[in-house]
A and B are shown apart, each in its own frame.
Chain A
Amino acid sequence: MTKSKRIPVPLTFSLVLAVVLALIIFFGAWAVSADTGNRTLAFGLPGTTPTLSGSNLQDPNSGEYQVARLASAVENSDTWWGKAFLRACPLH
């Protein structure tokens, strides 16, 4: 057991945290800058089945699903979060 007074945050924990944050920033910035047409934002909410065709399949007996698309009237790169992703990512 380490006897130092400081809490020793292990390297593996810090590394995993850094990699996950980097991945979120990278993919977030890529999503903001990518030209994806009408593709559905695939956040796989329970009860829905997003597909790459841009339509959500569903139980034929239920009503239409309202799908949130990134291709909305406001450009994502103009939103505060879009700008934040682009500013944080050195690759985009």
Chain B
Amino acid sequence: MAVTTTPTPVTTGSPKGIHRAWIILGILAAAQIVGQSISMAAGIMVAPLNDADGGFGWNMGMIGAGLAAYYLFGALAAPITGMLGDRYGARPLMFACGVLYATSMILIGTVTHFWQFILYFGVMLSVTQSLAMVPLLASVNGWFKQKLGLATGLLWASGGVGAAAVAPSIANLLNAVGWQQTFTYIGLFGGGLLMLLTLFYRSKPADAGTTAFGARADDPTEIIRSKEVDRLRLKVFNKAMRRTRAFWNLPTIHGLGCAGHGIILIYSIPLAIDQGVSLTTASYILAIISVFSILGRFMAPILAERMGAKPVMMTALFVQGLTVMVLFWAQDAWAFYLFAGLFGLGFGGEMSAYLVVNRQYFGTGPLATLYGFEMMGALSGHAIATILGGLAIYITGSFNPALVLSMFFSFSGVLVIYSMESGAKVLIPDWEDGLPPEAKTTPQTADRAVRAALIGQLDSD
């Protein structure tokens, strides 16, 4: 098990003075938009699949089963893609994501039987989205020693803006060229773009012969180890993480938060229509939520880095839960719009701070696995929201129980965050104690790494 120590110079990695990390961030933002287009396509394809006069004529139960499979396989795939990201790096997974995206989308264009829809959409595209969202997003952690909050905020905000632009584009394509060609074009464009971006993307700074943004000359040197040693270190690191409460609580919080806003995203329009608001007017509710969520997505990671993640996440979830109360009395369009703006801020802030929280709790180690489990929680939360919200409305004939459930989930999330450890210090500073001597970072280097992470946090404050 060979271990070599190669000092890495503090360089920007770009000849024009822009640090390579910002170029990587741009690539990841593009990958985010491609990944988001999958869930956008999901919403838009329901109408043609359900159209009795169209080529499919499937009922809502069948389409619902396809969407349920999408959530289920997505939740199962998220931790696996996270582990793969930690083990092989995000770059090969970006290429795999491009190939899988193109293949799945082109195959969806050829769907004639229900089992094909389950396989191509429910299984293949959920794995594709997992690849795009988990290891790629988590890789930003290694590229930013400082300003991780800003980088994460920009990434999430661009994803939100992109998603808003992708939805009408897909709808227009469907109207213009039909089902098969639409998905062929989307597959070739999105998949091709991801494969092309792989050429310029690097999983970590050392692969590009540079250092992370914000790295200092006195930071611990990057150690290049054999694959066996890296694998062992990953195993021990994950084992140490699993023994903390935060490892279990973070996916729980993401699940509760997503269940809380999932109910609202699904049922706020039907509720407005039930209160006498027209469909066209009601459709702006989701648009307003999306616009205001961009501000929440952008600000939450930045504030989490400055103030600590716990208060920011608690505030975001509290706002998300509290604003639902407006819906109990809302009858006019303006009340729904007011709700949408306030709710959007909380909803956006709920989802985007996890990469910063992970850094605060677990330092700069390989965190894609943890992020995978957090995404597993998020997708499970959305599935639970759909099922429980639907059942509650069906049984009681009222939207109120679903709203109560949404608030219950959000406020439960606040309580779980409150019960968590402080993010002021790394929870597993001594995780290397479980390693054999040849796989350890030298005690001096490990010490400096922890100290550097703490100084970085203090600097941000």
Q: Which residues of A contact B269 (CB under 8 A)?
A: 49
1/0 per residue A5-42: CB within 8 Å of B? 00111101100110110011001101100101001111
Contact of B249 among A13, A43, A57 (CB under 8 A): A13
Answer whether residue A79 sits at the interface, using C-beta atoms and an 8 A cutoff. no
Answer whether residue B442 sits at the interface, using C-beta atoms and an 8 A cutoff. no
A contacts with B: majority SS:
loop
Q: In the complex, what residue of chain A is closest to B250 when comparing beta carbons?
A: A13
Answer whether residue A50 sits at the interface, using C-beta atoms and an 8 A cutoff. yes
Compute how far the CA of A81 lies from the CA of B366 in the bound complex, rounded to whole angstroms.
42
Answer whether residue A67 sits at the interface, using C-beta atoms and an 8 A cutoff. yes
Answer whether residue B447 sits at the interface, using C-beta atoms and an 8 A cutoff. no
Q: Which residues of A contact B388 (CB under 8 A)?
A: 23-24, 27
Compute how far the CA of A67 lies from the CA of B394 in the bound complex, rounded to whole angstroms.
13
Q: Indicate if the CB atoms of B384 and A20 lie closer than 8 Å.
A: yes
Answer whether residue B96 sits at the interface, using C-beta atoms and an 8 A cutoff. no
1/0 per residue B29-50: CB within 8 Å of A? 0000000000000111111001
Contact of B270 among A39, A41, A49 (CB under 8 A): A49
Q: How big is chain B's contact interface, by range?
A: 35 or more
Given contacts A16-B416, A45-B67, A59-B47, contact A66 B398 (CB under 8 A): no
Q: Indicate if the CB atoms of A47 and B389 lie closer than 8 Å.
A: no
Q: Which residues of B contact A19 (CB under 8 A)?
A: 412
Q: Which residues of B contact A89 (CB under 8 A)?
A: none
Q: Indicate if the CB atoms of A12 and B395 lie closer than 8 Å.
A: no
Given contacts A1-B427, A57-B279, A62-B51, contact A44 B245 (CB under 8 A): no
Q: Indicate if the CB atoms of A47 and B248 lie closer than 8 Å.
A: no
Contact of B390 among A1, A44, A62 (CB under 8 A): A44
Q: Indicate if the CB atoms of A44 and B46 lie closer than 8 Å.
A: no
1/0 per residue B168-210: CB within 8 Å of A? 0000000000000000000000000000000000000000000
Q: Which residues of B contact A67 (CB under 8 A)?
A: 59-60
Q: In the complex, what residue of chain A is closest to B429 when comparing beta carbons?
A: A1
Interface residues of B in 383-434 (CB under 8 A from A): 384, 386-395, 397-399, 405, 412, 416, 419, 427-428, 430
Q: Which residues of A contact B320 (CB under 8 A)?
A: none
Given contacts A31-B395, A45-B67, contact A65 B270 (CB under 8 A): no
Compute how far the CA of A82 lies from the CA of B267 in the bound complex, rounded to whole angstroms.
25
Given contacts A13-B248, A16-B416, contact A44 B395 (CB under 8 A): no
Q: In the complex, what residue of chain B is closest to A2 when comparing beta carbons?
A: B243
Given contacts A2-B243, A46-B43, A63-B54, contact A31 B60 (CB under 8 A): no
Compute how far the CA of A91 lies from the CA of B327 in the bound complex, rounded to whole angstroms.
30
Minimum CB–CB distance for B332 against chain A, Å? 18
Compute how far the CA of A78 lies from the CA of B240 in the bound complex, rounded to whole angstroms.
48
Q: Which residues of B contact A9 (CB under 8 A)?
A: 248
Answer whether residue B52 sits at the interface, using C-beta atoms and an 8 A cutoff. yes
Q: Indicate if the CB atoms of A45 and B60 lie closer than 8 Å.
A: yes
Q: Indicate if the CB atoms of A10 and B46 lie closer than 8 Å.
A: no
Compute how far the CA of A17 lies from the CA of B274 in the bound complex, rounded to whole angstroms.
32
Answer whether residue A73 sits at the interface, using C-beta atoms and an 8 A cutoff. no
Q: In the complex, what residue of chain A is closest to B248 when comparing beta carbons?
A: A13
Compute how far the CA of A22 lies from the CA of B46 in the bound complex, rounded to whole angstroms.
31
Answer whether residue B273 sits at the interface, using C-beta atoms and an 8 A cutoff. yes
Answer whether residue A68 sits at the interface, using C-beta atoms and an 8 A cutoff. yes
Q: Which residues of A contact B394 (CB under 8 A)?
A: 31, 34, 36, 39-42, 70
Compute how far the CA of A51 lies from the CA of B392 in the bound complex, rounded to whole angstroms.
13
Q: Indicate if the CB atoms of B391 and A12 lie closer than 8 Å.
A: no
Minimum CB–CB distance for A78 against chain B, Å? 17
Answer whether residue A74 sits at the interface, using C-beta atoms and an 8 A cutoff. no
Q: Indicate if the CB atoms of B397 and A36 lie closer than 8 Å.
A: yes
Q: Which residues of A contact B60 (CB under 8 A)?
A: 41, 43, 45, 48, 65-68
Minimum CB–CB distance for B297 against chain A, Å? 20
Q: In the complex, what residue of chain A is closest to B265 when comparing beta carbons?
A: A44
Interface residues of B in 345-392 (CB under 8 A from A): 384, 386-392
Contact of A57 among B52, B248, B273 (CB under 8 A): B273
Q: Indicate if the CB atoms of B384 and A52 lie closer than 8 Å.
A: no
Q: A48-B46, A62-B47, A66-B57 are in contact. List 16 more A-B contacts (CB 8 A).
A: A1-B243, A7-B243, A12-B248, A13-B252, A27-B395, A40-B394, A42-B389, A43-B64, A44-B267, A45-B60, A46-B43, A48-B60, A58-B47, A62-B51, A64-B52, A68-B64
Residue positions of B touching A, CB distance < 8 A: 42-47, 50-54, 57-61, 63-64, 67, 240, 242-245, 248-249, 252, 255-256, 266-267, 269-270, 273-274, 279, 282, 384, 386-395, 397-399, 405, 412, 416, 419, 427-428, 430
Query: Which 7 residue pairs are nearest across A and B when measured between Cβ atoms?
Result: A46-B43, A47-B46, A44-B266, A68-B61, A43-B390, A27-B391, A13-B248
